[in-house]
Amino acid sequence: MRLHFAALLVVGVLFANAGAGSVKTMTTDAEGARSLTSDRYKRLLRADSAVDEERGITSALKSLPGVDKAKKLLLKQQLAAYLKKEKSADDVFSKLNLAKTGDKLFESPKFLAWVKYVDDFNMKQKDPDKAMSMIPTLTKQFGDASLAKILAVAARSPSTKRLAESLQAQQLKSWKEAGLSVDDVFRRLSLNTGLDDILTNPLFFTFNKYLVDFNTWNPGKSTTMVETLTRRYGGLSVREMLEAAMKVDDTKAMATRLQAQEIDLWKDMGLDADVCI
């Protein structure tokens, strides 16, 4: 009887709000992702999507006609309540059970709802110092390397590219603000565990972005990718890796650029590049 009453209550809410025209439903996951590039959502990391997080909705209720509208309404009301109470990004992330999504984070409509919540929270603050960044929460849940990989993969998809790249920029900025060196980030991304397939590792390209930014921020401490690899693996191992990569179509272009850096490094060391080759 309790389940039946809950079902009638949900349906009643749907009809009542449909008649009044007061319920503005949230968009689907795909629409929310596309909206990131629309004029309406030019504010950084804006997203408009929602899913059911109301635990009282059971599998039986999910079969009712129009229940999707009820789900979206329930989550919208839930997030509005969190916003009124100024719940932290950590709290809302936890309440939406987003940690369970793992590397499927960007496939979850609840993630876009969380992004919108953080954005709305920040817009509400009159004091900029009270604004929340998403990166501390995401890093706490997934770690630097796993988060960087999630963002790198999401950046390849047209539907999530803008959001992922914005978060990537925030992640790089967080490393800068933490005063991390190039070698620090190299280790955090677990690129120090072996040269095998390093040129096809998505995290290699994330690291390269940080390397470029680091050199811009610290012109007196600038370094190169080859120098970084050589510090960790030694010149001979790097040279052998690049020679092997030159024979593979997918890595030939990158290996060519790195070999040019390698030759410049030899010259800076006073070595004869022709002899080294």
Residue 9 scores a pLDDT above 60: no
Asked whether residue 40 falls in the same domain as residue 126, the answer is yes
From 98, 122, 145, give the residue that closes a domain: 145
- At 54, the pLDDT band (50, 70, 90 cuts) reads very low
Residue 105 scores a pLDDT above 50: yes
Asked whether residue 217 falls in the same domain as residue 263, the answer is yes
What pLDDT, on the 0 to 100 scale, is given for residue 274?
A: 53
- What is the distance between the alpha carbons of residues 195 and 188, in angstroms, rounded to a whole number? 16
Asked whether residue 258 falls in the same domain as residue 196, the answer is yes
Domain assignment present for residue 47? The answer is yes
From 93, 127, 145, give the residue that closes a domain: 145
Number of domains, the chain: 2
Per DSSP, 196 falls in state T
**Model pLDDT for residues 221-243, shown as the tens digit of each residue:** 999 999 999 999 999 999 999 99
From 91, 126, 145, give the residue that closes a domain: 145
**Model pLDDT for residues 142-151, shown as the tens digit of each residue:** 999 999 999 9
Region 19-46: mean pLDDT is 42
Residue 27 scores a pLDDT above 60: no
Per DSSP, 116 falls in state H
18, containing H or E segment:
helix 2-20
Asked whether residue 225 falls in the same domain as residue 125, the answer is no
For residue 205, what are the domain limits? Answer: 179-277
Residue 30 scores a pLDDT above 90: no
Asked whether residue 198 falls in the same domain as residue 259, the answer is yes
Domain assignment present for residue 188? The answer is yes
Residue 155 scores a pLDDT above 60: yes
Domain assignment present for residue 45? The answer is yes
- What is the distance between the alpha carbons of residues 111 and 209, in angstroms, rounded to a whole number? 25
